[in-house]
Amino acid sequence: MFSPFIINDKNLFLDRYPINQVNRSLQAWDAADEYLVNYVIDNDLLTDDSKLLIFNDNFGAVTLNFNQNKVHSISDSFISQLGLKHNAEQNNLALENIIQLSSLDDLPIKSDVILYKIPKSKNLMVEQLCQIRKILTSETHFIAADKAKSIQSSTLKLFEKHLGITKTSLAVKKARLVFCQCNPELTNNADTKLGQTYTQTKTWMLENSNITIKNYANVFAREKLDIGARLFIQHLPELTNEKKVIDLGCGNGVVGLSLLKNNPKTQLIFTDESHMAVASAKDNVQVNFAESEANCQFMVNDCLTDIEPQSVDIILCNPPFHQQNATTDHIAWQMFKDSYRALKKGGELRIVGNRQLGYHIKLQRIFGNEKLIASNDKFVILSAIKN
């Protein structure tokens, strides 16, 4: 158990989420969270009536310090949203003032203080800054935070370009704050329609097909086809009849879409923990396979939580090996274990993975079997059957 996150005599016991991670040595908050929360408290930025917007809070460290105020907490990660809820419960903190929004929801029109944890994806950051500038006024306090080494001059230029005059604090415990003053010229000219208009969407054609792949700002392989996925879509299972299939960790849906190309009647669930990923997959099915849409479901989920056991024929997965900035294999483990539970007897989990990751060992341990379907110098395609 870690020492609590202590600020202003408030002790918060915070877990990373999901809590049963293999790598328990990582903390659920960082020095940037601490600096941000301390700054707000030390400078008396809040009254009882102040409204806060908090962006990209990983596991609730920032939001749960301000749960007496009206807070909108915005994240693209369903895992972070679950983490916030879990940490509120374990600290007996009420969530009634906290509204959790996804990165595609409209922002509330008025807020007094905006606390912005800088995300890893600069595309997501620009998308969010374009939304923020529609509601920023000269009275709004805007404070961003990150590790000092991650705040480069190019990052500051983005704040300057999208919001206004930008200044930074001194570094404390290797974290830094960024302050932006609303530039009325930028904010007055901002497209005033809340939500809906996304500036960082990227669309490309899937090679050797007529499929267009649209990606919202925070989607994996937003710029081009992932090289692991490229090999994977060449080795998808042959489907004999109308099977129930899951594209697990679907991103933009490229794997499921490639399956739909030859099997338009497949019942297909696209699922991911990123709201933007699931929205992209949904748009891509609508645009490319409108006739198959009724057979498809789109689900924001943590792996396969709540999928009925023994209900699925085939699961296709290109597993992640990062959670935020941390490299980890706990998500792959959870995806494989959940797949075993969700598959019918005789059902197949088919995955692609980097050779060095040794996924065959995990599959052997969980399924008692695994088979090499294809490989190249970097990746392997593996199949495991639930016996």
Ligand X SMILES: C[S@@+](CC[C@H](N)C(=O)[O-])C[C@H]1O[C@@H](n2cnc3c(N)ncnc32)[C@H](O)[C@@H]1O
Q: Which residues bind ligand X (CB under 6 A)?
A: 79, 220-221, 226, 229, 249-251, 254-255, 272-274, 277, 302-303, 318, 320, 331
Q: 3-class SS at 386? A: coil
In angstroms, what is the minimal distance from the CB of 178 to ligand X?
26
Choice between 93 and 246, CB closer to ligand X: 246
Encoded tokens for 72: 């909108």
In angstroms, what is the minimal distance from the CB of 89 to ligand X?
19
CA 348, CA 256: separation in Å to the nearest integer?
15
In angstroms, what is the minimal distance from the CB of 163 to ligand X?
27
Choice between 142 and 379, CB closer to ligand X: 379
Residue 109 one-letter amino acid: I
Choice between 74 and 254, CB closer to ligand X: 254
CA distances from 103 to 111, 193, 309, 336 (A): 17, 16, 30, 28
Choice between 73 and 318, CB closer to ligand X: 318
Encoded tokens for 232: 């994977």
Half-sphere exposure of 10 (CA within 13 A, CB side): 18
Phi first, then psi, for residue 363 (nearest 5°) are -65, -40
In angstroms, what is the minimal distance from the CB of 124 to ligand X?
12
Strand order across the 343-354 sheet: 296-300, 267-272, 244-248, 312-317, 343-354, 379-385, 371-375
Nearest 5°: the CA angle 113, 116, 117 is: 150
Nearest to 283 by CA among 257, 304, 302, 303: 257
- Residue 377 has what DSSP assignment? S
CA 324, CA 57: separation in Å to the nearest integer?
11
Residue whose pair of structure tokens reads 């050797």 in the numeric block: 208
Nearest to 284 by CA among 298, 274, 304, 266: 298
Choice between 178 and 315, CB closer to ligand X: 315
CA distances from 250 to 8, 150, 214, 298 (A): 42, 28, 13, 10
Choice between 165 and 326, CB closer to ligand X: 326
In angstroms, what is the minimal distance from the CB of 323 to ligand X?
7
Choice between 263 and 339, CB closer to ligand X: 339
In angstroms, what is the minimal distance from the CB of 166 to ligand X?
30
Choice between 145 and 303, CB closer to ligand X: 303
In angstroms, what is the minimal distance from the CB of 366 to ligand X?
17
In angstroms, what is the minimal distance from the CB of 350 to ligand X?
12
In angstroms, what is the minimal distance from the CB of 263 to ligand X?
17
Choice between 79 and 84, CB closer to ligand X: 79
